[in-house]
């Protein structure tokens, strides 16, 4: 009965873990969607400001051209009224661009946290399988410890693995180098 109890206990723990994970994934998806909506809103506001600025630039060009045609001279034209209108828009645009950068940083950090949580979840799933196999005497304690250690390396070296993947995405290392480095980090 001892082995059956261990298996049943492990199965219950895995079931609870899966339910908790599903709830977290749903809430994480909602937060990510809200962040993306906020990012789109900020970019849309910048787009509107850009259109208004372009209209002001056209007005400046027209005033200058009208003046040149009337006077046959190329001196300065008074555009202070347009500049007064442009200044707050440029300031607002700079503020929005700073907000976008900050929001993108936050989103990236949250993505990293989510990815790390997924790596830890994968480890826990693997541990559950190994616990079950050990409980059923399908693995020796040595095999169990070895496989568990290997599974934990993915969590332990999460940052380094992520860095290697980014290096490959940027073309800083070849796919062979990437595979070699990942193998060293996970085995």
* DSSP class per residue in 131-179: HHHHHTTSS-HHHHHHHHHHHHHHHHTHHHHHHHHHHHHTTSS-HHHHH
Query: In the Cβ-directed half-sphere of 172, how many Cα atoms lie within 13 Å?
Result: 8
Percent of the chain clearing pLDDT 90 (strictly above): 32
**Looking at the predicted structure, is the pLDDT value of residue 55 above 80?**
yes
Residue 9: the pLDDT is: 59
Specify the residue for token string 């940052």: 159
**Looking at the predicted structure, is the pLDDT value of residue 98 above 90?**
yes
Residue 4: the pLDDT is: 47
| 59, 95 contact by CB (below 8 A) | no
User: 3-state DSSP call for residue 72?
Assistant: coil
| 51, 89 contact by CB (below 8 A) | no
| 123, 154 contact by CB (below 8 A) | yes
């Amino acid at each position: 009965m001892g082995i059956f109890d261990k298996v049943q206990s492990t199965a219950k723990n895995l079931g609870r873990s899966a339910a908790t994970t599903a709830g977290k994934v749903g809430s994480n998806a909602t937060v990510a969607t809200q962040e993306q909506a906020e990012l789109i809103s900020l970019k849309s506001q910048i787009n509107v400001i850009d259109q208004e600025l372009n209209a002001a630039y056209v007005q400046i060009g027209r005033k200058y051209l009208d003046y040149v045609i009337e006077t046959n001279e190329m001196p300065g034209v008074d555009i202070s009224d347009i500049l007064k209108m442009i200044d707050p828009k440029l300031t607002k645009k700079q503020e929005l661009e700073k907000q976008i950068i900050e929001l993108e940083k936050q989103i990236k950090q949250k993505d990293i946290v989510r990815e790390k949580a997924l790596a830890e979840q994968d480890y826990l799933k693997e541990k559950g399988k190994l616990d079950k196999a050990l409980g059923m005497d399908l693995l020796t304690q040595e095999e169990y410890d070895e496989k568990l250690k290997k599974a934990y390396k993915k969590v332990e070296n999460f940052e380094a693995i992520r860095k290697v993947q980014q290096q490959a995405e940027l073309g800083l290392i070849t796919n062979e180098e990437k595979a070699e480095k990942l193998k060293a980090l996970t085995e």
